[in-house]
C-alpha cells in the first residue's frame, strides 16, 4: 500500500491507476484522493475508484 497525504492506496487500486493514460494519471490521482477525503474515508478501495469515476465521468 502507498500513502499519499492522509489517504492510502491499495495495490489493487494502484494497478487501476496505472491503467490511466500517463498524461492524465496525476490529475486522476488527485481527483480520486479528493473524492476519498470528501467521503470521509482513509483508504482508496476499488469501490471508491468506481464511484469517483462515475462522478467525474472518467
CATH H-level superfamily of 2-56: Proto-chlorophyllide reductase 57 kD subunit B (1.10.8.550)
Average pLDDT over residues 45-55: 95
> Which pLDDT belongs to residue 51?
96
pLDDT score, position 1: 61
Task: Provide the percentage of residues in the chain whose pLDDT is more than 70.
Answer: 93
Give the residue from 37, 33, 40, 32 showing the smallest Cα distance to 56.
32
Residue 57 has pLDDT above 90, yes or no: no
Q: Quick one: pLDDT band at residue 3, thresholds 50, 70, 90?
A: low
Sorted by where each begins, the domain ranges of the chain are 2-56
Amino acid at each position: 500500500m502507498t500513502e499519499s497525504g492522509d489517504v492510502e492506496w491499495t495495490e489493487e487500486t494502484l494497478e487501476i491507476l496505472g491503467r490511466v493514460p500517463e498524461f492524465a494519471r496525476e490529475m486522476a490521482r488527485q481527483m480520486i484522493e479528493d473524492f476519498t477525503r470528501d467521503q470521509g474515508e482513509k483508504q482508496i478501495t476499488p469501490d471508491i475508484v468506481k464511484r469517483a469515476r462515475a462522478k467525474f465521468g472518467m
